[in-house]
Every structure is written in structure tokens, then in C-alpha cells.
């Protein structure tokens, strides 16, 4: 198993957080049948996958077009992910996501929840997009490693789809307490990964300067 695949797998698992999506998905699809939930889950995952794959392919070009150096993006992206890690550790991320889900559920005419908020931003959110661009830049010199990143993304998306399909069972089996504990542990991992991005960005920036 390559280093690119392992790193991307952990990063995507933490930033997309399939288990953390379960209670939110149940909330925004409360009035849907089991068949409808399956379709919503599939479309949401496919939309999120396509968005993130586009950033794998064109994320570096986007930064270059905007005149943003990769050292600056690594540092800023790492700080952003660190803030997200703090939200996960202190249980603010679920509250923020739940607020979005509650707002959508309260709409008199509910929009296509597979697109918003499920596909974007719950699955392909800022954290996952940041992770994607950083991974794509890190392995831009090697197509096999880029394919490893894409494979890790595909595996996490498959796990996300499965988690959404089995949402009720997962919630009953784990319960909110266990899901919160897992979220905090993942937050610690994300915090360490974020600080590594910041250190790499600062090191690269000062060496270029």
C-alpha cells in the first residue's frame, strides 16, 4: 500500500467523516422512503466524488491561475483544517452541520438535498476540497500516486454510501455517544495532519524566500 494512498485515505476519512454524516442524512431525509433515501445517498455521493475528482485534476491549475503559491495554500489550508479539527474535538462541527440540515428540512419547498447540502458541502466541503488540492499538489509529479489518491477517494466514497444506506442501523448500534467519541478521535488526527501541512508550508515558503 503506497504512502500516497494511506495518507489520502486517512485525510478523506477524517474530513468527509462518513459516520458523522449519518445522523444528518437521517434528519434531511426524514420524510423519504427507503428507496428514495437510497437514491438520494447515491446521487449525493456521486456529486461529491465528481467535484473532488475535478479538484484532483485541476486544483493546481486553479491556484496557478489565481496566482496563489502552493506554500501559501499549504499554510492557509493547514490552518483551516486545524480550525475544523478543533470543532470536531469540541463537538462544534456536528452542530454546524446539523444547523444546515435543520434549515433545509424547515424549507416549505425542500430543494434537491442530494445536491445541497449532501453532495455540497457535507461531502465535498471546504475541508475535503482543501485536502484534495494539497494531495494533488504533493503528488503532481507522479501519475501512479495521483491515481492512489483517486483510489483512496473512491474507497471513502463507497464507505460513505454504505454508511448512509445503513444509517438507521449504524445510529442504533453505535448511538450518539460513540459517534461523538469517534469524531473527537478523528479530530485529533486531523489536527496533527493540519499542523504538518502548516509546517511544510512555512518551511517551503521560507526556503523559497
Give pLDDT tens digits for 113-129: 899 889 988 899 878 88
Q: What is the mean pLDDT of residues 128-150?
A: 86
Q: Which three cell numbers stand for residue 8?
A: 489520502
How far is residue 161's CA from residue 120's CA, in Å, rounded to a whole number? 15
> Which sequence spans correspond to the domains of the chain?
3-208
* pLDDT higher than 70, residue 108: no
Count helices and strands in the chain by DSSP H and E runs? 8, 0
Q: Which three cell numbers stand for residue 120?
A: 455540497
* pLDDT higher than 80, residue 53: yes
Confidence of residue 109 (pLDDT cuts 50, 70, 90): very low
How far is residue 188's CA from residue 55's CA, in Å, rounded to a whole number? 25
pLDDT of residue 102: 53
14-49 residue pLDDT tens: 889 898 888 888 878 878 888 999 999 999 999 999
Q: Could you tell me if 133 and 59 are in contact, meaning their C-beta atoms sit under 8 angstroms apart? A: yes
The more confidently predicted of residues 93 and 127 is 127
> How much is the pTM?
0.76
Amino acid at each position: 500500500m503506497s504512502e500516497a494512498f494511506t495518507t489520502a485515505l486517512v485525510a478523506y476519512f477524517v474530513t468527509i467523516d462518513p459516520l458523522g454524516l449519518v445522523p444528518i442524512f437521517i434528519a434531511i431525509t426524514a420524510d423519504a422512503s427507503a428507496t428514495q433515501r437510497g437514491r438520494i445517498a447515491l446521487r449525493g455521493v456521486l456529486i461529491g466524488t465528481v467535484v473532488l475528482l475535478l479538484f484532483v485534476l485541476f486544483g493546481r491549475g486553479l491556484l496557478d491561475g489565481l496566482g496563489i503559491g502552493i506554500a501559501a495554500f499549504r499554510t492557509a489550508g493547514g490552518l483551516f483544517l486545524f480550525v475544523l479539527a478543533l470543532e470536531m474535538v469540541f463537538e462544534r462541527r456536528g452542530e454546524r452541520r446539523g444547523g444546515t440540515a435543520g434549515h433545509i428540512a424547515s424549507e416549505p419547498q425542500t430543494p434537491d438535498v442530494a445536491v445541497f447540502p449532501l453532495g455540497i458541502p457535507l461531502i465535498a466541503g471546504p475541508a475535503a476540497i482543501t485536502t484534495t488540492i494539497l494531495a494533488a499538489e504533493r503528488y503532481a509529479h507522479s501519475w501512479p500516486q495521483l491515481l492512489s489518491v483517486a483510489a483512496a477517494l473512491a474507497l471513502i466514497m463507497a464507505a460513505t454510501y454504505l454508511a448512509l444506506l445503513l444509517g438507521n442501523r449504524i445510529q442504533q448500534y453505535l448511538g450518539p455517544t460513540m459517534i461523538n467519541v469517534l469524531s473527537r478521535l478523528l479530530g485529533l488526527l486531523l489536527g496533527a495532519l493540519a499542523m504538518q501541512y502548516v509546517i511544510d508550508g512555512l518551511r517551503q515558503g521560507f526556503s523559497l524566500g
